[in-house]
Structure 1
Amino acid sequence: MLSKSCVYGLRASLFLASNRDQDYVSIREMSDKLNISFHFLTKILQQLSAAGLMESYKGPNGGVRLTKSGSQVNLFEIIAAIDGVEVFTECALGLPGCGTEKPCPLHDKWADARDGIRKMLEETDLVELAKKGKKQNLRITADGSFEWE
């Protein structure tokens, strides 16, 4: 449902939200800790910066950080910045014009599910997930090597 870029963007955003002091974090450090290609992660972070969710700083102490508190950034904003909102508006069968007047066979079920998922994403912020991840030692890397700060 979500692109690999989007999944990595969510993981990087969680990483930054777990950085309590909100300092700039090196993209190389983030790349290494999250096991994401540096160049791929850089492109993803550029998208999030263009959307106003992150800001970057160049130089020896440079890196990226969230533009606002992680408690003010919900998952939907990150998904919208990377993958767009089409998954929350388009027909599940890809039919143009699908809606209440000319629905597809899956329209009602998909509309309910998609609206529920969107609501959950809008109501879930980064700090909430970062705290849960730290408290329960949940993983955000494939091999579970990431350790919450």
Structure 2
Amino acid sequence: MLLSKSCVYGLRASLYLASRAEQEYTSIREISEELEISFHFLTKILQQLTADSLMESYKGPNGGIRLSEKGKKATLLDVVIAIDGPGLFTQCALGLPGCGSSAPCPLHDSWLTVRESIKEMLERTDLKHLAREGRANKFRITADGSFAWQ
């Protein structure tokens, strides 16, 4: 898998929030239960997204988390970089240090093309658009397919 488990869960949680009402805070417990993600693991992931200003949290009985203004305009690439960093788009596929055009690994040219395609796809896909598409096409974001778009 190219993305870490944290990143995949962060993308799913971001899509879940993008499908919600604009100003509505959603409890992390609800997201955890709906997406079948460990509450504590999800909390750490959402803290990363909050630290990167893609989300904002509110404490208290009606508290929770929601997309920030920046998050409402975020692309999948923004979420990936906030959680996994830019390494996917800069590092050697085989993990060799110094891999580049002057000292390429056996996968260098192929991986360069693939990673640029992946980066472009993530960059042109925003959360709000994908949430709308998910609703329209009844896409699933849980393992068992039980998630119904709001």
Report the TM range for the smaller structure's normalisation. over 0.9
Between the aligned partners of 1:54 and 1:70, the Cα distance in structure 2 is 6
Deviation at 1:137, TM superposition (A): 0.6
The residue number in structure 1 matching 2:110 is: 109
The number of residues matched between the two structures is 149
Contact 2:48 2:82 in 1 (8 A): yes
| 96-105 vs 107-116, which moves further | 96-105
The residue number in structure 1 matching 2:37 is: 36
Deviation at 1:37, TM superposition (A): 1.2
Secondary structure of the structure 2 residue equivalent to 1:33:
helix
Identity of aligned residues (%): 64
Structure 1 residue runs of 5 or longer lacking an equivalent are none
Name the CA shift for 1:86/1:121 in 2 (closer, same or farther; >3 Å): same
Contact 1:70 1:127 in 2 (8 A): no
RMSD: 1.2
Match runs of 1:41-120 below 5 Å: 41-68=42-69, 72-120=73-121
Name the CA shift for 1:67/1:76 in 2 (closer, same or farther; >3 Å): same
Contact 1:17 1:69 in 2 (8 A): no
Q: Where has structure 1 moved over 6 Å in runs of 4 or more?
A: none
The residue number in structure 2 matching 1:139 is: 140
Structure 2 residue runs of 5 or longer lacking an equivalent are none
Contact 2:75 2:127 in 1 (8 A): yes
Q: TM-score, normalising length from structure 2?
A: 0.95
Deviation at 1:69, TM superposition (A): 6.3
Residue identity opposite 1:129 in structure 2: L
Q: TM-score, normalising length from structure 1?
A: 0.95
Between the aligned partners of 1:54 and 1:124, the Cα distance in structure 2 is 18
Deviation at 1:71, TM superposition (A): 5.1
